[in-house]
Chain A
Amino acid sequence: MVGALRKGAMGLAVLASISGLSTFAMADSAPSSDFFEIHIRPLLVERCLSCHDGSDEAESVLSLASREALIEGGDFGPALVVGKSAESLLWHAVNGTHKELRMPPDGDEPLTREEVAAVAKWIDDGAVWPKESTIASTSKVEGSKPREEVEHVDLWSFRPRRSVRIPTVDDGGWATTDIDRFVWRKLQEKGLRPVPTADRRTLIRRLYFDLTGLPPTSKEMREALADPTPEGLVAVVDRLLASPRYGERWGRHWLDVARYADTQGDVGDFPIPQAYLYRNWVIDALNADMPADRFLRLQLAGDILARESDDPKERREMTIATGFLALSRRFGNRKRDDMHLVVEDTIDTIGRGIMGITLRCARCHDHKFDPMTMDDYYGIYGILASTRYPWMGASDEKSPSELVPASADPNAQRRADEYWELIARYEYQINNHRRPWLRPTIDEYKRLKRLLEKAKEEGTPTTPIEVELSSLLDEHDRFRELLIHGLPWVRREKDRLAANPPYEMLFAVSEGDAGDARLHRRGNPERLGDVVPRGFVGALGGATPSAIGQGSGRLELARWITAPEHPLTARVLVNRVWQHHFGRGIVESASNFGVQGRPPAQPELLDYLTETFIEDGWSLKKLHRRIVLSRVYQLGSDNIDANMEIDPDNVYLWKATRRRLESEVIRDAMLYVSGTLDLRPGGRHPFPHWTKKRYSLNGPFKQVYTSNHRSVYLMTQRLFKHPVLDLFDGPDRNSSTESRRSTNVATQALFLMNSTFIEEQSRAFADRILRSGETDDERIESAYELAYARSAEPSEQAAAREFLATHRDTSASLGTKTNDVTRQAFVSFAKVLLTSNEFFFVD
């Protein structure tokens, strides 16, 4: 079994199962035919038909193109005895048990044990072959359908947006915006009655969490409530959208999509010290309300677009934006061994993240449901294979490479590459200087040097020795410096270089050698198929290779994706914004707008929003504003039993869906309320310099850096999860996250009951409460104001007083010092407030 080969096969299988699985799962109905389609047909096509396709040109007279042909057989007689694998030539030939025949012939990899077993099973189960089906040698199983032949699938999301008319509704003044008119019409249609609007206090709290990810302070709440007019609310919204907290909150949403992490994900999980620049770029771009088409374009091709800018600062920023691509997940021990998986991650993130399509499925076969082919996949693959990805290192290749210099000098990239290559060269010499196989070379060099010295002393001719020396060095050029200067010199030189990079090095992509890629048959990079011209997605009007100019095609791809007429990009983005405001997208499967995704609950509304979004110059802030100022956003979260019968999941928005805070918000809100949150933007993480540490499978990078910054600034690892963020259903850091879950598990509660983190926050919060008043009543009141931005009800006051009193008594009886009794009681009280449902849910 060859590691790499099988690895490819596994990846392939994962994807092949997109159809395979569902058919397998339906095994009860038609097992054998499915078995043939999944296990036998691909095998015949891939391994046999090139010689056995039954055509006149075929190398063998035996045809494996139909069941009848197999039974009829060839020179050796029948190849198939139905029901009896042990008597079938076909099985013996692939199993290696025929005395003369062994198939596939010499030089070809034999079938795997699994494949041989599948052949046996298929024969024993009756060799079922779908009726009147033959296999042509150019079967589509491993190749791609020509793009122009992709069947027309009437998929709503692939169609252009329709210009929709705002419905005129008879709503008795319910609707306050056009959004509401669409929603009202739908509610009427479904027989749903909306709940009343939420009270202003609830709404303010919702807006704060929604737009900034932090609760309002009691002062902010008071100020916001002071003006109960609609204008008052608008003012609050505008203030929140202008707050730097907005970019941190919504930047985090985008980082979910971008599967952001500060490490590579390879076996050593190498840290990426510069990754934070991309993270901060996202936050800044959102705060500046950068038009979203540009926001996306820069992430796909900022390095190329940067050439058009004269401003070094802007150029640097644009390059940093390509962190979106550069932060694709890495695998394995060596940099390029699993490049096809790295590119797959990029394609998946562009596909699901930006366009809402599962393009990745077309890696191994044409997409089973959506109109996308392998050519579509490998058309984009070629663009990314023409793109250089940066590396911070790998287990077997420890030094960084292909980082992008922040410099306008046209020679900078070349010089940076030479710099890293030289370091890698020295690194290689240092790593191998003690290898037994190098020993003879070193000895030989030393012998010649001694001879040379001797010749010089004795005045005999030195030229022959010099020639020999020189040819030895040429032959072992990889070790030239080690041989000439010795190990200490090489070490020193490497350290000197590593400490003095010629430029600031960014973790960004850059243009590589442009060229088309060859298709990977059945997704296996070791089984290359035809060259596929670079292009986009045919069914989306992107199969025009001529559009690609000199470079990789990435800029053209970026422009195509972000064109206003692209049917998916803007819709997908608008839907994500809606999803985060309402807890569910208009298309619930926010990263899959394909056949297997969920249909839009309100297609016209989505198109209306998308259309106005584009008219507004792709302004996200205007979109937020339009959404949160609608009536439907401002509904209460109460239930109506009759509605629950019709629409229990609130798909049609007859109320606001109550939501638990996301992991980052939980942590941020706790720090904020306890007064320990550091609101300054986070910078780089305290990673060790790359020369100081080496990472591998046996010693992967693993750290949790403590910090009081907002959670979006915490260091995020691919292989190891952050203990707090992960516990409360944080994002996947290894692939694009469509939506967060909200689970209730006992380990979360244990954390809230017993962890150091909660203890620290409770103490800090208790001290804040204690400082805020003299009496229990004053302190209880301010505790409620701090935690919930509201006053305590009289019954709550009473309950809290009772709790504090009982706590003091119990604690004193347990021997707590008198001085500590009150503080302890307030620490417990603080903990209860911080971990309560009121703290954790937004109405």
Chain B
Amino acid sequence: MEPTLDRRELLARSAGVAGAVALNAMSRGELLAGERQGGTPNPLAPKAPHHEARAKHVIMLYMSGGYSHVDTFDPKQQLIDKHDTSMGKPPAKDVSMGEGVERFLKAPLWKFRPNAHCGTEVSDLFPNIRGIMHEAALIRSMYCDHRDHGEATLQLHTGSTTVAMPGLGAWLSYGLGTFNENLPSHVVISEHLPYTGAQPWDTTFLPAHHRGIRIVPGSRPLPNLKPRTPSQLQELELGMLARLNRNHADQRGREGQLLGRQASFDMAKNLQDAAPAALDLRGETKETLKLYGAEAGDRTSYAAQCIMARRLVERGVRFVEIIDSVGACRDNWDAAHRDIASHAKYAKRVDRPIAALVEDLKRRGLLDQTLLIFCTEFGRSPWAQDGKGTKSRTHHPDAFSCWLAGGGVKPGIVHGKTDEIGNRVVENGVHVHDFHATILHIMGLDHTRLTFRHAGRDFRLTDVHGHVAEEVLS
């Protein structure tokens, strides 16, 4: 964290890093002039954290739909031993419609094995992720407040299960700014809209600069990114626009908001030029592509998305999230009334790329600056959903597993514990609010102090809750 970084230096640096077209000298001057008048400070300039940050960037790997903890990261011998044993009907409060179906325990479909270095057990769904678990702190005691996807997805991102609040990425951008002003501070790679649409990366009441920019992997990653006219003509247009705006501002005392709006065109031009480069994988070596399991020319696979995330972080983007939703909401980790075996398809898609991302960041010296978050909105029931011997597991907000790796994270540990069947948390519970508090803490922010005044009061990501899980910190 370089809170005192000089702004000129930053401009120069960011332009250099991205290999972008240098800022138009006139408008940069205006921008700086505007700043001196207190007119248009760059709202995304890096800000000092509350305490020393343990990481500079975040890559959040969100598995949409809720993977089963008892089939992935939380081994339970009892489920094997007592497979098909009845737990009775669920309490009425847990049943939303109709009658509760009797619950029979269900053994995991995959075998668990330990990581060679730290012994953390992960199932055969994730052989490659198991291979990097010694870099990660696995939390087996996650829990949240809601059993429906929409509410839980919102909570995982914003803390709230009801009304949309700003998401984690927006709060981080607001609290810390970003390093490259040619790129957004907050990027969400999401092939399909997840549950609740764009709300997880919305800013709601936070200033609009902090909103996540959604990238759709493929030929049109961002709306309006591609110029409609040849670059020579676009430059003519932008030059003419700058000229009109300059005259207009000159007659109006060069007011800050006028200069600020002109500056946004300069930023847009830089984004237009820098974003395709950041997302272009042609410069990646064959060896790197192979590590991730990406094909040459591939722009859409999860592997390609992971490489893009790395490239964005390399270029100074503060927060990148990849939302894993294969075919909108109907084709994801949700195994309610579906065969839990469908997990294999989704795990296969992400397992190798994610392990590769950890390795790749590490060898580039970026892992200790980057916090990786592997997470989902809730777990899956230790029992079969539709009666004895059936194949599905239902939504389970009472216990699930997530992991953190990289900057500021104590590697190779397991934090928290569920009961002998993975039904409830019995030790070191980490509520989603605690999870958020911990992430903010690693990033140098005190979740109780990161506030924004709106509609008469101060809001924060963790509402009035949240405890930092100190045990997972390095």
A-B contact count (CB 8 A): 247
Alpha-carbon distance between A541 and B83 when the two chains are bound, in angstroms = 65
A13-B240 in contact (CB<8A)? no
Q: Give the residues in chain A near B285, CB-CB below 8 Å.
A: none
Residue B364 interfacial (CB < 8 Å): no
Q: Give the residues in chain A near B48, CB-CB below 8 Å.
A: none
A25-B449 in contact (CB<8A)? yes
Residue B143 interfacial (CB < 8 Å): yes
Q: Give the residues in chain A near B467, CB-CB below 8 Å.
A: 117, 121
Q: Give the residues in chain A near B40, CB-CB below 8 Å.
A: 744
Most buried by B among A38, A592, A746: A746
- Closest Cβ neighbor of B453 among chain A residues: A596
Residue B151 interfacial (CB < 8 Å): yes
Residue A603 interfacial (CB < 8 Å): no
- Closest Cβ neighbor of B446 among chain A residues: A27
Alpha-carbon distance between A735 and B191 when the two chains are bound, in angstroms = 29
Q: Give the residues in chain B near A807, CB-CB below 8 Å.
A: 233, 236
A831-B237 in contact (CB<8A)? yes
A591-B455 in contact (CB<8A)? yes
- Closest Cβ neighbor of B334 among chain A residues: A698
Alpha-carbon distance between A421 and B220 when the two chains are bound, in angstroms = 48
Which of A5, A744, A810 sits near B264, CB closer than 8 Å?
Answer: A744
B162-A21 in contact (CB<8A)? no
1/0 per residue, CB under 8 A from A, across B257-285: the answer is 11011111101111110000000000000
Q: Give the residues in chain B near A331, CB-CB below 8 Å.
A: 162
Which of A4, A648, A658 sits near B93, CB closer than 8 Å?
Answer: A4
Residue B124 interfacial (CB < 8 Å): no
A810-B236 in contact (CB<8A)? yes
Supposing A837-B258, A837-B262 touch, asked if A1 and B143 sit within 8 A by C-beta, the answer is yes
A753-B249 in contact (CB<8A)? no
Q: Give the residues in chain A near B240, CB-CB below 8 Å.
A: 799, 803, 828-829, 832
Residue B169 interfacial (CB < 8 Å): no
B233-A811 in contact (CB<8A)? yes
A658-B267 in contact (CB<8A)? no
A838-B96 in contact (CB<8A)? no
B253-A638 in contact (CB<8A)? yes
Q: Tell me the residues in window 791-821 of chain A with beta carbons closer than 8 Å to chain B beta carbons.
A: 795-796, 799, 803, 806-807, 810-811, 814
Q: Give the residues in chain A near B363, CB-CB below 8 Å.
A: none
Supposing A3-B146, A697-B195, A747-B268 touch, asked if A24 and B448 sit within 8 A by C-beta, the answer is yes
Most buried by A among B223, B451, B459: B223
Supposing A10-B160, A24-B464, A698-B329 touch, asked if A592 and B455 sit within 8 A by C-beta, the answer is yes
Q: Give the residues in chain A near B255, CB-CB below 8 Å.
A: 639, 658
Residue A396 interfacial (CB < 8 Å): yes
Alpha-carbon distance between A319 and B40 when the two chains are bound, in angstroms = 48
Q: Give the residues in chain B near A597, CB-CB below 8 Å.
A: 456
- Size of the chain A interface, CB-CB below 8 angstroms: 103
A267-B150 in contact (CB<8A)? yes
Residue A17 interfacial (CB < 8 Å): yes
- Closest Cβ neighbor of A334 among chain B residues: B96
- Closest Cβ neighbor of B209 among chain A residues: A745
Residue B388 interfacial (CB < 8 Å): no
Alpha-carbon distance between A17 and B99 when the two chains are bound, in angstroms = 38
Which of B243, B247, B249, B465 sits near A13, CB closer than 8 Å?
Answer: B465
Residue B8 interfacial (CB < 8 Å): no
Most buried by B among A332, A589, A660, A729: A332
- Closest Cβ neighbor of A2 among chain B residues: B93
Residue B1 interfacial (CB < 8 Å): no
Alpha-carbon distance between A803 and B228 when the two chains are bound, in angstroms = 18
Residue B102 interfacial (CB < 8 Å): no
Residue B417 interfacial (CB < 8 Å): no
Q: Tell me the residues in window 625-650 of chain A with beta carbons closer than 8 Å to chain B beta carbons.
A: 637-639, 648
Most buried by A among B97, B144, B244, B269: B244
B197-A702 in contact (CB<8A)? yes
1/0 per residue, CB under 8 A from B, across A715-735: the answer is 000011101000001001011
Q: Give the residues in chain B near A638, CB-CB below 8 Å.
A: 252-253
A589-B264 in contact (CB<8A)? no
Residue A755 interfacial (CB < 8 Å): yes
Residue B199 interfacial (CB < 8 Å): yes
B329-A754 in contact (CB<8A)? no
Supposing A720-B198, A744-B263, A807-B236 touch, asked if A754 and B227 sit within 8 A by C-beta, the answer is yes
B249-A837 in contact (CB<8A)? yes
B261-A660 in contact (CB<8A)? yes
Residue B245 interfacial (CB < 8 Å): yes
Which of B247, B265, B330, B425 sits near A698, CB closer than 8 Å?
Answer: B330
Alpha-carbon distance between A751 and B267 when the two chains are bound, in angstroms = 12
For residue A795, give the distance in angstroms from its CB to the closest CB of chain B: 8
For residue A834, give the distance in angstroms from its CB to the closest CB of chain B: 10
- Closest Cβ neighbor of B141 among chain A residues: A113
Alpha-carbon distance between A113 and B241 when the two chains are bound, in angstroms = 59
Most buried by A among B222, B244, B457: B457
Residue A748 interfacial (CB < 8 Å): yes
Q: Give the residues in chain B near A361, CB-CB below 8 Å.
A: 456-457
Q: Tell me the residues in window 413-459 of chain B with beta carbons closer than 8 Å to chain A beta carbons.
A: 425, 429, 431, 433, 448-449, 451, 455-459
B271-A837 in contact (CB<8A)? no
Residue A352 interfacial (CB < 8 Å): yes
Residue B161 interfacial (CB < 8 Å): yes
Residue B238 interfacial (CB < 8 Å): yes
Supposing A10-B145, A10-B160, A333-B96 touch, asked if A744 and B252 sit within 8 A by C-beta, the answer is no
A17-B258 in contact (CB<8A)? no
- Closest Cβ neighbor of A592 among chain B residues: B456
Supposing A741-B207, A837-B262 touch, asked if A9 and B463 sit within 8 A by C-beta, the answer is no
B455-A734 in contact (CB<8A)? no
Alpha-carbon distance between A732 and B164 when the two chains are bound, in angstroms = 11
Residue A822 interfacial (CB < 8 Å): no
Q: Give the residues in chain B near A700, CB-CB below 8 Å.
A: 197
A437-B243 in contact (CB<8A)? no
Q: Give the residues in chain A near B234, CB-CB below 8 Å.
A: 753
Residue A6 interfacial (CB < 8 Å): yes
For residue B50, give the distance in angstroms from its CB to the closest CB of chain A: 12
Q: Give the residues in chain A near B465, CB-CB below 8 Å.
A: 13, 114
A697-B451 in contact (CB<8A)? no
A14-B236 in contact (CB<8A)? no
Supposing A7-B161, A702-B197 touch, asked if A754 and B272 sit within 8 A by C-beta, the answer is yes
Q: Give the residues in chain B near A796, CB-CB below 8 Å.
A: 247
Residue B88 interfacial (CB < 8 Å): no
B265-A1 in contact (CB<8A)? no
Residue B163 interfacial (CB < 8 Å): yes
Q: Give the residues in chain B near A213, CB-CB below 8 Å.
A: none
Q: Give the residues in chain A near B398, CB-CB below 8 Å.
A: 1
A21-B458 in contact (CB<8A)? yes
Which of A358, A596, A838 sits near B248, CB closer than 8 Å?
Answer: A838
Which of B162, B229, B236, B263 sits near A341, CB closer than 8 Å?
Answer: B162
Alpha-carbon distance between A840 and B244 when the two chains are bound, in angstroms = 12
A803-B236 in contact (CB<8A)? yes
Additional pairs, 10, CB under 8 Å, beyond known A18-B457, A596-B457, A833-B244: A1-B397, A16-B464, A18-B456, A21-B457, A592-B456, A697-B149, A746-B184, A750-B222, A754-B272, A837-B244
Please list the 6 inter-chain residue pairs (A to B) with the smallest Cβ-Cβ separation, ordered nearest first: A749-B268, A6-B145, A746-B267, A113-B429, A17-B464, A20-B464
Question: What are 27 A-B pairs at a CB distance below 8 A?
Answer: A2-B94, A7-B145, A10-B463, A17-B460, A38-B464, A113-B143, A114-B429, A114-B465, A338-B162, A437-B99, A596-B457, A638-B252, A658-B252, A697-B195, A744-B260, A745-B208, A746-B184, A746-B270, A748-B268, A751-B224, A753-B237, A753-B268, A754-B227, A807-B236, A828-B237, A832-B237, A833-B244
Which residues of A does B touch, CB under 8 Å?
1-7, 9-11, 13-14, 16-18, 20-22, 24-25, 27, 38, 113-114, 117, 121, 267, 331-334, 338, 341, 352, 358, 361, 396, 435, 437, 589, 591-592, 594, 596-597, 637-639, 648, 658, 660, 697-700, 702, 719-721, 723, 729, 732, 734-735, 738, 741-755, 759, 795-796, 799, 803, 806-807, 810-811, 814, 824, 828-829, 831-833, 835-838, 840-841, 843
